[in-house]
């Protein structure tokens, strides 16, 4: 089941660099683990912004929320979710 997720990161300007670096490193590790597990299907940077567009492939809203809320940067992100479904004009039976 696919969900389109756009995340915008807003780190507080007074967060110590060490803390920010540690958060980002953990975020990256978890993002890559989720990609390897096939849960985080696509991850693109939006040019010019500290933001990404992603596509998740999960069993439903519960797993989606569970996944997103465990991300180290979750408390610092604005997140917009859109549920996706197959488009009648797609040439793929299952476009992931």
Contact residues toward a copy of itself (CB under 8 A) are: 1-5, 11-15, 27-28, 31-32, 35-36, 42-50, 52-53, 55, 60-62, 64-66, 68-69, 75-76, 79-92, 95
Tallying the residues shown for the chain, one arrives at 96
CA distances (Å), origin 48, targets 17, 42, 43, 45, 76: 21, 19, 15, 9, 18
Token pair belonging to 94: 């299952």
**Closest distance between a copy of itself and the C-beta of residue 13, in Å?**
5
Q: In this structure, are residues 73 and 9 in contact, taking their beta carbons and an 8 Å threshold?
A: yes
**Closest distance between a copy of itself and the C-beta of residue 71, in Å?**
10
Q: Which is nearer to a copy of itself, 18 or 82 (CB)?
A: 82
**Closest distance between a copy of itself and the C-beta of residue 18, in Å?**
16
């Amino acid at each position: 089941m696919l969900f389109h997720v756009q995340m915008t990161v807003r780190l507080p300007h007074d967060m110590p660099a060490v803390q920010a670096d540690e958060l980002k490193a953990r975020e990256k590790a978890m993002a890559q683990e989720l990609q390897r597990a096939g849960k985080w299907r696509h991850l693109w940077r939006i040019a010019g912004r500290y933001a990404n567009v992603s596509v998740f492939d999960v069993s439903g809203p519960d797993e989606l929320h569970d996944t997103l809320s465990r991300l180290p940067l979750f408390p610092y992100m604005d997140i917009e979710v859109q549920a996706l479904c197959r488009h009648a004009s797609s040439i793929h039976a299952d476009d992931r």
